[in-house]
Amino acid sequence: MRLLMFAFLLWAHPLLAADPVAALRYPEDFFAVHGKAEPDLRVELQGDAEGVVQQARVLASTRPELDAEVVQALRGWRFRPDREQGKPVAWTRELGFVFGPLGLADAPARFRDGTQLWYPEGKGWNGTDADVLIEAAVMADGEIRSLRILEASDPDLARVAAQEIMRGRRCEPAMRDGRAVASLQRLSLLFTTMPVVVKQVKPTYPIELRKSGNQGDVQVAFTITAEGDVRDVRIVESAHPTLERAVVEAVGQWRYQPMTRRGQAVAGKVTLMMPFSLRNHPGSLLQQTAVEPYAVGGSRKLPEDLPEEFRYDKPPQVRVAQAVVYPFDLLTEGVTGSAMVNLVIRPDGKVHEAHVLKATRPEFGLAARAAMEAWEFEPARKDGKPTWALISRETRFDRSGREALGESAQRLLRILKKGQPVIPGLADLDALPAAIYQPVPRRPAGSRGADATGRVMVEFFIDRDGRAQLPKVLEAPDESMAWAAATAVSRWQFAPPLRGGKPVDVRATVPVDFHPPEAKEP
């Protein structure tokens, strides 16, 4: 197996480091750090347009007797040079170092579950125990600060491994006496072949969104099983709930030739971004202005009495917007109204708490709050750093606009009103419809249901396309849990229910359990 010797620094973007000719070795005896106010050693490096270090100058040192060895070790390193107008130019960088050695550990560091490296096109497994063997300096927070490739079955795999790992891959850190510690680890890497599409249905851009100018992206993650089936679909980002449904419906029909590792079929995770843009329809006669209805505006002036901790330069942005459940009884009675909800959003983008400011009916307020508690955000930023934010949103319940019912839900309402045809139950089907997408309910944030446990019984309809429609809570120990459960169920999707081999609408009742939280969020 060919022996390759590389060293990489994440923040300095190096390409190649030659073997140190000095007695001091990197990273066994010293390694680069950032985020520490006073490192043991600070060095200024100057390099040419090829990325080669030309000069190294010690700026500060706690171990001056080692300065010469560090400088000698750094000479010969190659970095990714700066660029001006697309061309590489000479550069100057300042790096901080800490003297080692890295400590021993009781339990070694390891890559986190789900870490995958893909074979480049035309490459594959050649029967070796590992495609690449690396030596990495892994910090106590799991960040890989440097790595050296010791062995590789193919030079291209060595390059891909270095680029991908130093792009931000993290490890579970090594442990000593029950505490995470920095360590120098040898890690074996196995690559995976890319899955090959066998069947891929393109998501349908919902016509009602095209007409209203709604556009945006949907990022979806899913598992491809060893048999090539799609499972565990998860929406990572979505500009609109209706786009979410369109993507889940399409992805649930996809099939793959499975990926392989060491010549064996394996399951693996895939993440894709799917754009929905009015530009995708150049032949359309409609000239609509593109809108993103769930975006938080950044131009409005913040209230003068807003506390300083909630002031931001850049507003939070919705990553996943959950549609509001129209209270079933009010919907069937034709009652309309609105609700205004305040959200407190944490620096990690999660909803800390939500409060109903006003609502024309209590049920509207509870439904709107439950939906917005399930939203996911890119946090607000102040001076470039994530910060707290306070926003208010109004939801209107009137069967039109943003919260309009889809055609399928309206069709089911007409059937229920007439009483014919009778909608069958699950027991009347050929088989139970397979679940494609079942996000769990978000535990109510900062409400009475936050620490509650119990079971919520939800009745809903699965339409002939497999989409959950018109959820209604039959019983619940807590109203906050009731609306959280109904909100989650409204997102569920299944394979189309069949009766006599034909797709049908079906009525279903399911229990949704809330278990004690494992730990309180800070």
pLDDT at 66: 86
Name the pairing type of β-strands 216-224 and 268-276: antiparallel
Task: Report which listed range, 89-98, 167-176, 464-473, is most confident.
Answer: 464-473
DSSP 3-state assignment of 199? Answer: strand
Q: Burial letters for 208-238: b for 16+ Cβ neighbours within 10 Å, e otherwise?
A: ebbebebbbebbbbbebbeebebeebebebb
pTM for the model stands at 0.73
Give the chain's count of helices (H) and strands (E): 8, 38
pLDDT at 402: 55
Sheet holding 30-33, edge to edge: 30-33, 91-99, 41-47, 53-61
φ and ψ of 231, to 5 deg: -140, 165
pLDDT tens string 213-266? 777 889 999 999 999 999 999 999 998 888 999 999 999 999 999 999 998 999
> What percent of the chain shows pLDDT beyond 90?
40
d(CA 278, CA 497): 33
- Average confidence (pLDDT) over 61-80: 83
For domain 196-280, is the CATH number 2.40.30.10?
A: no
- Average confidence (pLDDT) over 64-78: 83
Beta strands in 407-453 (DSSP E): 435-437
- Tokens describing residue 376: 């996911």
H or E segment to which residue 189 belongs: strand 183-189
Instruction: Give every CB contact of residue 109 below 8 A, 6+ residues apart in sequence.
Output: 136, 138, 142, 171, 172, 173, 174, 183, 185, 187
User: Class assignment of domain 308-403?
Assistant: alpha beta
- Average confidence (pLDDT) over 497-512: 96
The better pLDDT of the pair 323, 473 is held by 473
Q: How confident is the model at residue 38 (pLDDT cuts 50, 70, 90)?
A: confident
On whether the CB atoms of residues 374 and 322 are closer than 8 A, the answer is yes
> What percent of the chain shows pLDDT beyond 70?
84
pLDDT at 307: 79
pLDDT at 289: 62
- Average confidence (pLDDT) over 389-414: 83
pLDDT tens string 349-381? 999 989 999 999 999 999 999 999 989 999 999
User: What are the start and end residues of each CATH 3.30.2420.10 domain in the chain?
Assistant: 196-280, 308-403, 407-514
The better pLDDT of the pair 10, 192 is held by 192
Three-state SS string over 45-106 comes to: EEECCCCEEEEEEEEEECCHHHHHHHHHHHCCCEECCEEECCEEECEEEEEEEEECCCCCCC
On whether the CB atoms of residues 421 and 257 are closer than 8 A, the answer is no
pLDDT at 331: 93
- Find the helix packing angle between 362-373 and 479-489, rounded to 10°: 60
H or E segment to which residue 255 belongs: strand 255-257
pLDDT tens string 186-198? 888 899 999 999 9
The span from the first CA to the last CA of the chain, in angstroms, equals 49
Residue reference for tokens 């979505």: 238
d(CA 326, CA 277): 28
d(CA 200, CA 74): 50
- Tokens describing residue 438: 């079942």
Annotation: CATH topology of 407-514: TolA/TonB C-terminal domain (3.30.2420)
Three-state SS string over 459-502 comes to: EEEECCCCEEEEEEEEECCCHHHHHHHHHHHCCCEECCCEECCE
Angle at 328 between CA 324 and CA 334, to 5 degrees: 100
pLDDT at 35: 54
pLDDT at 468: 96
Asked if residue 185 has pLDDT above 90, the reply is no
- Average confidence (pLDDT) over 305-318: 84
Residue reference for tokens 């003068």: 304
d(CA 79, CA 163): 13
Q: How confident is the model at residue 521 (pLDDT cuts 50, 70, 90)?
A: very low
- Average confidence (pLDDT) over 76-96: 83
Asked if residue 20 has pLDDT above 50, the reply is no
Three-state SS string over 302-353 comes to: CCCCCCHHHCCCECCEEEECCCCCCCHHHHHHCCCEEEEEEEEECCCCCEEE
Q: Average per-residue pLDDT in the chain?
A: 83
- Tokens describing residue 392: 């208010």
pLDDT at 105: 77
pLDDT at 16: 36
Q: How confident is the model at residue 8 (pLDDT cuts 50, 70, 90)?
A: very low
pLDDT at 489: 96
Task: Report which listed range, 178-192, 205-219, 252-266, 297-311, is most confident.
Answer: 252-266
d(CA 386, CA 381): 4
d(CA 245, CA 204): 10
d(CA 278, CA 281): 6
pLDDT at 436: 93
On whether the CB atoms of residues 404 and 241 are closer than 8 A, the answer is no
pLDDT at 502: 96
Residue reference for tokens 């923040």: 11
Which residue, among 519, 351, 371, has the nearest Cα to 439 in the 3D structure? Answer: 371
* C-alpha gyration radius of the chain: 28
pLDDT at 452: 63
Q: How confident is the model at residue 427 (pLDDT cuts 50, 70, 90)?
A: very high
On whether the CB atoms of residues 203 and 250 are closer than 8 A, the answer is yes
H or E segment to which residue 410 belongs: helix 407-418
Residue reference for tokens 């600060």: 145
- Tokens describing residue 198: 């066998």
Q: Which of 122-126, 465-469, 497-501 has the lowest mean pLDDT?
A: 122-126
d(CA 166, CA 365): 47
On whether the CB atoms of residues 174 and 111 are closer than 8 A, the answer is no
